[in-house]
Amino acid sequence: MLGNNTLAAKRKQLNLLFVFPDQMRREAMGFWKKGRFKGALRTEPDPVVTPTLDGLAQESVVFTQAVSTCPVCSPYRAMLMSGMWPWQNGVVNNCHQTRKDHLRHDIECFTDVLETTGYETCYVGKTHWERNDPLFDVNQNYVGTKEAPGGHHFNPYDTYIPPGRGRHGNDYWFQCVKDVHKDPRVYSNDPKKINGLKDGEQYRPKIYSPKLEADVITDYLKNSHGQRDTSKPFSLIWAPNPPHNPYGSEDDCDEVAYREHYKGKSAEELLNRPNIAESDADNLAKAKKSVPFYFAKLTGVDKQLGRVFQALEETGEADNTIIVFTADHGEMMGSHNKFGKLVIYEEAFCVPLMVKVPGKTNGTLEDLMITPVDIMPTVLGMMGLKDRIPATVEGRNWSREIITGDWSKTAKPKSAHFLGYNNKFKGVRTDRYSFQIDQKGEQLLFDNKKDPYQMTGLQLADIPGADADFLLSELGRWLKQSNDPWWREQKFAEIIQYPA
């Protein structure tokens, strides 16, 4: 029988390792301070330690203007999985026990395509795309009914996804739920990893979730107990919950990373963005307390990613695996007197994105304003599966241009769409400007070239007329393309320049 390394060498089809932590902002990677990447952003990078990501950047295409579109968990994940805008994929809000949103079961998603083309498919970590119904018993085990012994929720937001269409073709399943990083609620179809429990029975290992998940992934790669058919290529999606809040103490982060790199550092050193100076006293105090733990979580994820990369090398799969690293949205961390996401400010709206294609990428910068709906078709294109991109996909396949760097035959998009939460805000970002209009008609505008920290709000009348017209026409075009309710209602047609 052929060994793993020989099988990997013989296999022509590329594997995929797709990693996206929750709530990690674009600036939070150490390599932005070094070498060819220094000065690539208009603002100062965060003082964060990420040696694994620094190494990955040297072998990747590194994006400077990737955006989240709708910077909150569920809508981003649904766009990533489906390649469709929220109004078509079913998720326009964060999935919650009071809402009926969920990723449609009847559409062919990213991992559905991979499963039907012969991939071993694996999902590890956070999902947050399924409707949250009270289908659990009092002990938080899934029973599949609202009638007794069911009728209970166990978490207001994310929920366990049972076998079936909700998993969208992911065969190996290890799902971690709840924003309590050292006490994740785990559900898996691998009994060896959950103390012999069945799929749907809750396991609480009391282990820091990135380490727990990296243990599962390294064992999966090494095929320690027959988790996969090593004659087939694999798709492995890893969605760590950290660095998502809470940011309260060592009890919810990688305490070793905190003590080694951030404990005792001054708030002025860690909070290096001038737009935090405008914060009120309570917000600033919260930011000073939170930021070392936020960065410790980032460094902790980076540490576990290093273990996964080592397992790729040890199994002979590294040179046969596309690696994508990104995030669902960023984190304000006190800037503009805000925490979290859901806003058009760069800290929340822009996300990290690196793509490594073995033998074809080598540390180049790319300013494409790529969006979540573009990720699925682009990665499928890189995997040689462009003919399998579903007709329902609304994003663009940029694989050829990204890998070759040749844009001579293709025009890059000149803007990217912003969707605020609950249909309350719409906006557009260009290389220079960020513009938003809310449901009351109130507007927000920044010149990101002259004012990269977005500290001085403008009016449309303050910028050249041609620039203002372009922003309003691009916004109208995006609203039409995404089949947004504002387009259908022609909302603010006296301001927004909708296509004819």
Same domain, 374 and 226: yes
Task: Give the other-Cβ count within 10 Å of 292's Cβ.
Answer: 22
Does 226 fall in a domain?
A: yes
Same domain, 153 and 95: yes
Same domain, 337 and 421: no
Query: Where is the domain boundary, 375, 404, 433?
Result: 404
pTM for the whole thing?
0.96
Same domain, 331 and 428: no
Q: What is the DSSP string of 373-392?
A: HHHHHHHHHHTT-GGGS-TT
Same domain, 122 and 216: yes
Does 89 fall in a domain?
A: yes
Q: Rounded to whole angstroms, what are the CA distances from 338 to 29, 245, 335, 384, 423?
A: 21, 13, 6, 42, 20
Q: What pLDDT was estimated at residue 10?
A: 52
Query: Where is the domain boundary, 404, 437, 471?
Result: 404
Across 10-19, 59-68, 222-231, 305-314, least confident range: 10-19
The answer, yes or no, to whether residue 3 has pLDDT greater than 60, is: no
To 10 degrees, the CA torsion angle through 105, 107, 109, 115?
80
Same domain, 175 and 249: yes
Mean pLDDT of 253-277: 94
Q: What pLDDT was estimated at residue 76?
A: 96
Query: Where is the domain boundary, 404, 436, 458?
Result: 404
Does 500 fall in a domain?
A: no
Same domain, 350 and 441: no
Q: Where are the alpha helices (DSSP H) in 128-167?
A: none
Does 365 fall in a domain?
A: yes
Does 496 fall in a domain?
A: no
The pLDDT tens digits for 198-217 are 999 999 999 999 999 999 99
The pLDDT tens digits for 123-151 are 999 999 999 999 999 999 999 999 999 99
d(CA 286, CA 282): 6
Same domain, 477 and 366: no
Amino acid at 341: K
Mean pLDDT of 229-258: 96
Mean pLDDT of 284-292: 95
Task: Give the other-Cβ count within 10 Å of 441's Cβ.
Answer: 10
Domain encompassing residue 456: 416-489
Taking the CA atoms of the chain, what radius of gyration do you get in angstroms? Answer: 22
The answer, yes or no, to whether residue 6 has pLDDT greater than 70, is: no
Does 499 fall in a domain?
A: no
The answer, yes or no, to whether residue 498 has pLDDT greater than 60, is: yes
Does 497 fall in a domain?
A: no
Same domain, 360 and 460: no
User: Which residues is 16 bridged to in the sheet?
Assistant: 235, 322
Does 495 fall in a domain?
A: no
- Output helix, strand, coil percentages for the chain, rounded to the nearest 5: 35, 15, 50
**Which CATH number covers residue 238?**
3.40.720.10
The pLDDT tens digits for 439-494 are 999 999 999 999 999 999 999 999 999 999 999 999 999 999 999 999 999 999 99
**Which CATH number covers residue 438?**
3.30.1120.10
Q: Rounded to whole angstroms, what are the CA distances from 170 to 112, 115, 120?
A: 7, 7, 8
CB distance 331 to 338 below 8 Å:
no
Instruction: Provide the number of structural domains found in the chain.
Output: 2
% of the chain with per-residue pLDDT over 70? 98
The answer, yes or no, to whether residue 1 has pLDDT greater than 80, is: no
- In the block, residue with structure tokens 């058919």: 229
Across 117-131, 272-286, 303-317, least confident range: 272-286
Same domain, 482 and 379: no
